Structure 1
Amino acid sequence: MARSSSRHPSRRYTNALATPHVVMPERIATSEHSNLAMAGADVTGYGDLAHMGRVVRKTLEAAEGPTYTYAYVPHIDAVSHQHGTESPQYDEMVATVLGHVERELIGRLDANVAENTLLVATADHGHLNTDPETNVDLNTIAGLHDHLQRRPHGEPIPAVGCGRNLQFHVREGHVEPLRDLLSAELDVLTFDREEYTSRGLFGDRTPSAHFEAHAPDLVAVHRDKFVWYDDGELNQVGSHGSLSLDEMLCPFAVCRLSDLQ
């Protein structure tokens, strides 16, 4: 949410942008990742969704100048992983999140602040619904480990990435045999280094030396299943990280908050 000064009747703001604010769950607000990713921002943790709505409203109302407030709400993603996006639990969580936003930012936010606040609602990815009963355990594919690079003590390097974006470090001369094995066992698309680089699947910038040192030799993406090791994740329904439209398309909505009041 961005707070501007162009139409506020009672305050004179400078053009300088104030310190950005981040509102996120308390359990991750002080994590190592958050400390790095949110460096320079004023981070406030929240306990539940009602608390989140109040913190965002009070943060907007207390702003002394143009600022940016980012509220991270992982609850919809979490319920999507567990139950999928076509479940009653998903509908209930979406309604709960929107209900708290409506109560605090539409029903209670100061009218002058709302007039000068742009609300942006979006997500970082979509979700593909998979079937836990038919998701695939990589350990059931006979001969898979024969094609993988080895660690110093001889054990094969397991696939990295995620169950919707499998990345393999492959023994020299084994890329095509592994591609053939995966294609025979699974409904997958596969990309070797040249193919995923030319298609920009890891971005359109020149690869760094660090990336080149860790880049996979083969990438495999399943059409509609989650393919991983049986470590508990095979039970999830909603998945993301691959090339289907459901996973790639994200909602994006923008409006002035006062237009909703």
Structure 2
Amino acid sequence: MPAGDHDRARRARLSLACRSGESRGSPRGSGCDVGGAACRRHRTRRARSPAAGDAGHRTGSTVGGADRLRRAFATGELLRPTDDVPNLVDLGRAVASASGAPVALRTRGAELLRDLIGEPSHLVLLLVDGLGLGLLERRSPTSTLRRLLATELRSVFPSSTASALTSLATGEWPARHAVVGWWTHMPTIDAAAVLLHYQRRSDGRPLDELGITPAQAFPTAPLIAQADRDTLSLLPREFVDSPYSRYASGGRPRRGYLTLRDAVDTVIERTRDAREPTFSYVYTPRIDSIAHEAGTGHPELDSAVAELEEVVEHLAVGLGAGSRLLVTADHGHLDAPVGRRHPLRPGSILDALQRVPPSGDPRAVYFHLRPDGAARFHDNFEGRFGNEFALLSIEELEEMELLGPGPLGDEARGRVGDAVAISLGASILGMPGVTGGRAWLAFSSHHSGLTPAEMRVPLLIA
């Protein structure tokens, strides 16, 4: 740890420990932050509710779904996305600030994370896709990953790679950056796109061939573009030149790697040889891929976490003087038992009431409904899936601030459709119109929901 940061980091850890008491599911408004007057959980939020007498009578109103979600938040079965606890949005702002970008931290969580980071000459962020906090909690308390754990962070909703990585890159919630799921509906083509692959979902056609520019797909600029230090993103070779990688790196240099150890050795050499401050970002998808295919209880996943631990040890020991290493994740994982995987079949009554196929993620599904079909859709969906999903109108989604504090931005509102189905646990929905859709249903584990297994992610600091 760079000289002079020890006391500040210790104070920040104590404060974060107090704040994270809510992160395991305590009702919002309980507990109190360190600092009394700085307490943010007791602030008054602007109330937004339907006009008197129209509850349950608005077009597309889904009375019951919101109440089920609130009960699940109160019991801790699900975790609310909130800026009242440290989260990935906070981390994105803290990292950008530590890299010299002129960024407003905005929340107490971001300020505390910024204190933990300190003033390193060389800042390294390792993003491990799918490394939920639960995977670390299975390891020995004396293991390196457990010993380096500084605090718990909360992901965004949907707890999906596309949404979470964009929140980390921009320091904004999905309500503002508008990447609202793995399959995001694009109004200009009236179809869903896989934004991280920059393709139309149904046929894989590149979005640029359909007239969509990166600025349209990703309307919020990444913060790292404003950094005043030498930056480098190290990504798997197959991703390094993608439109999303170019966007998320802020146009700064990128380098492809063959193995994670290769990337780590590049970072070590870079911090030892540099004559000016640096920021290095490393992304690895291996744990996420294994969890999807094999499930969270498979020995192969434990082996992959053990291998990651060796890489983190090697990196932490090898970094040059004045370096700080951060390790975090975009989301965790939750297994989907076979009996909880539900295909949405073409030709069904639900399908007939939709204007275009649904978008989003398996545990956060957006529906784009025919103008005259909202009430029938609600009744049919509730009858079939009401015990496993909460169906909300978009007004309710916004009122509950599930995509982040404040109102939906114009771009996000145009992408979320008319209703959203949110899993109350392990259940998933398989969508029609998805290339390889059956393969998605066959995955053993998924994410994108609000369960603690999916929403709780670690922040390791060395």
Q: Contact 1:76 / 1:93 at 8 angstroms: preserved in 2?
A: yes
Cα offset for 1:141? 8.7
Q: Contact 1:141 / 1:185 at 8 angstroms: preserved in 2?
A: no
| Equivalent position to 1:100, from 311, 323, 326 | 311
Structure-2 separation of matches of 1:160 and 1:241: 13
Provide the residue aligned with 1:203 in structure 2.
404
For residues 76-129 of structure 1, the C-alpha deviation after alignment (integer angstroms, 9 at most, x for no partner) is 1111111122211110111112212323442xx26xx2x411111110111111
Residue 395 of structure 2 is aligned to residue 189 of structure 1: no
Q: Contact 2:389 / 2:421 at 8 angstroms: preserved in 1?
A: yes
Provide the residue aligned with 2:120 in structure 1.
4
Secondary structure of the residue that 2:284 maps to in structure 1? coil
Provide the residue aligned with 2:244 in structure 1.
33
Q: Which has the larger radius of gyration?
A: 1
Provide the residue aligned with 1:169 in structure 2.
368
Structure-1 separation of matches of 2:359 and 2:371: 18
CA RMSD of aligned residues (A): 2.3
Structure-1 separation of matches of 2:450 and 2:378: 18
Structure-1 separation of matches of 2:416 and 2:291: 30
Provide the residue aligned with 1:213 in structure 2.
414
Cα offset for 1:147? 1.4
Q: Contact 1:24 / 1:44 at 8 angstroms: preserved in 2?
A: yes
> 2:120 is matched by which residue type in structure 1?
S
Q: Contact 2:367 / 2:420 at 8 angstroms: preserved in 1?
A: yes
Residue 422 of structure 2 is aligned to residue 226 of structure 1: no
How does the TM-score come out when normalised to structure 1?
0.81
Any gaps of 5 or more consecutive residues in structure 1? 7-15, 150-156, 256-261
Secondary structure of the residue that 1:86 maps to in structure 2? coil
For residues 40-60 of structure 1, the C-alpha deviation after alignment (integer angstroms, 9 at most, x for no partner) is 422121101221221221122
Structure-1 separation of matches of 2:460 and 2:415: 37
Residue 267 of structure 2 is aligned to residue 56 of structure 1: yes
* Structure 2 counterparts to residues 128-139 of structure 1, below 5 A: 128-132=334-338, 134-139=340-345
Structure-2 separation of matches of 1:165 and 1:136: 13
Provide the residue aligned with 2:458 in structure 1.
251
Q: Contact 1:85 / 1:127 at 8 angstroms: preserved in 2?
A: yes
Structure-2 separation of matches of 1:51 and 1:202: 36
Provide the residue aligned with 1:11 in structure 2.
none
Structure-2 separation of matches of 1:102 and 1:174: 56
For residues 56-77 of structure 1, the C-alpha deviation after alignment (integer angstroms, 9 at most, x for no partner) is 2112222222221111111111
Residue 351 of structure 2 is aligned to residue 145 of structure 1: yes
Cα offset for 1:233? 0.2
> 2:392 is matched by which residue type in structure 1?
F
Provide the residue aligned with 2:447 in structure 1.
240
> 2:282 is matched by which residue type in structure 1?
A
| Equivalent position to 1:117, from 323, 330, 337 | 323
Q: Contact 2:121 / 2:323 at 8 angstroms: preserved in 1?
A: no
How does the TM-score come out when normalised to structure 2?
0.47
> 1:100 is matched by which residue type in structure 2?
V
Cα offset for 1:204? 2.4
Structure-1 separation of matches of 2:250 and 2:380: 45
Number of equivalences: 234
Secondary structure of the residue that 1:36 maps to in structure 2? helix
Q: Contact 2:261 / 2:311 at 8 angstroms: preserved in 1?
A: yes
Secondary structure of the residue that 2:421 maps to in structure 1? strand
Cα offset for 1:211? 3.0
Q: Contact 1:135 / 1:227 at 8 angstroms: preserved in 2?
A: yes
Q: Contact 1:130 / 1:239 at 8 angstroms: preserved in 2?
A: yes
Any gaps of 5 or more consecutive residues in structure 2? 1-94, 100-118, 123-226, 432-436
Secondary structure of the residue that 1:81 maps to in structure 2? helix
Cα offset for 1:28? 0.5
Provide the residue aligned with 1:80 in structure 2.
291
Q: Contact 1:4 / 1:65 at 8 angstroms: preserved in 2?
A: no
Residue 365 of structure 2 is aligned to residue 158 of structure 1: no
